[in-house]
Amino acid sequence: MRNKALFLAFMVLSLPLSGCFGEEDVVPEPEIEVQENPRVFVTDKTGADVNVPPMNLTFQFSDVGETGKEPSIGITSSGCIFFIAMEKVMRSCDGGLTWDETQDPVMCSPTTSDPYGWVDPITDRVFGVQMIGLETSWICWSDDDGETWLGNPHDSGTTPINDHIKLASGPWTSSGYGALGQFTGSFYETAVYYCYNKLAGIFCFTSFDGGATFEAGGQIIGLATTNGGLHGAISTAPDGTVYVTPRVATPTVIVSKDNGFSWFERYMGEDVGTPNPRKNSEVSADTDSNAYHVWTGGDEGIYMSRSTDSGETWEQESIRISPAGVISTVFPQTDAGDPGRIAVTYLGSENAEMLNQSDIDGNPWDGNAHYAPNNATYHLYITYSLNALDEEPIFHTYRVTDDPVQVGSICLNSGDCRDIGGSNRNLLDFNDLHIDREGRVYVAFADGCTGDCATNENATASDSRDGRGAVYYLASGPSLLAEFGLMEPLID
């Protein structure tokens, strides 16, 4: 693990197949070092610096102690943190001081290297999902913070699953499947959604019994034009609206307002576009069901479009979330609390001096992480806004890692990776961000630069091939739910 403080505290001064074939990681012992000079930005909707006082924030770091490629994170109302990646469901109920493996070896078996996890924010049900081969997946769940589990297979039929299994849950609506539940009175408290892509495109299903079975659903409209429909996380809003983001050149969301009975497409972001290979954009929704879609734009910055009518219409003029000085980004993830209060995380590089220099293919580098030069460095960034719905929103961004998360390129398309001292597919496809019921932000990520890579200022791509699981969460600072005010540290 790289040199990160077990308690990183600072007060800001200026506020295809993707994940199926990960390599085994050598997990070094962590070294502890306090970050002394964090990088902090306060910017407007163009990414330009503004003269606005910063937020005062501290963050807690936790080393999960296991491989963390493609992590999912969720927090139950008891405060237990669940980190799901590769073959394990990891749990910490003491603020990240210790972690234990908690999935049942029978009910959560068999496991593969392509999982997904979800914690239902209404019922506290914890889900662990695994893809088994190319035709079946296995879904297990726990209603007691991972002490006991149940599980069932889900057969995707004769057409193979390609990749990107995703699961989420949300409220029932008064139409579609939700209306059926009101009539029968027999549905689980929340609707549970399961999506994956086959070679033909994106398929989504709705469970009436809390994720035990998925009998309703099928292929949804708005299929991606490349890579068989690879899509981002499923997102839900308090009014029951469901969002799925496909992999397309123009940022797009696929929306359902009747619990997956029907779907429609909406577009935005044509002013900035998005390059390929690209996937895993995400939508978050606040407590009033306003929606925020984030993605990596054509200039490799993080952009956002907002919807104030539950996904019916979206702004066509994109807002830049990431600072102008962050010239390359991947893996944007987001969550929201009360209206306008959002958090976004991503990996980013500030190596502007490398732009137009030779990339790994010998061509001028344009900032696309997939082709980054061997000595480009990527860090973990977190962006906060408490007024993201305003006409002139302000974004507070800080680089929370002191040494790189990755050195060199980050392969975003497994059929087109460059093997430089070991595959640069080591981080796979995504990280994760969620808030708990008090609006505290949690970020799960995989660290590719550990051990000697973390301490060597001259580290290169061949040194950065790990995938260690780690978490940052808000220790003190403003909650994304206004009623909770300022957060206090979970641990001393």
Where are the chain's structural domains?
39-487
Query: What predicted TM-score, i.e. pTM, was given to this entire model?
Result: 0.92
CA distance linking residue 402 with residue 61, whole number of Å? 12
Residue 453, classed as helix, strand or coil, is helix
Per-residue pLDDT tens digits for 406-443: 999 999 877 778 777 778 999 999 999 999 999 999 99
Closest by Cα among 242, 254, 245, 265 to 175: 242
How much is the pLDDT for 312?
Answer: 97
Closest by Cα among 401, 439, 381, 424 to 1: 401
How much is the pLDDT for 155?
Answer: 66
Closest by Cα among 377, 259, 389, 284 to 326: 377
Question: What is the CATH code for 39-487?
Answer: 2.130.10.10
- Tokens at 245, concatenated: 């983001």
How much is the pLDDT for 222?
Answer: 57
Closest by Cα among 347, 354, 459, 461 to 405: 347
Could you write out the three-class secondary structure of 197-224?
A: EECCEEEEEEECCCCCCCCEEEECCCCC
Could you write out the three-class secondary structure of 329-388?
A: EEEEEEEECCCCCEEEEEEEECCHHHCCCECCCCCECCCCHHHCCCCCEEEEEEEEECCC
Residues in the chain where the model's pLDDT stays below 50: 1-35, 227
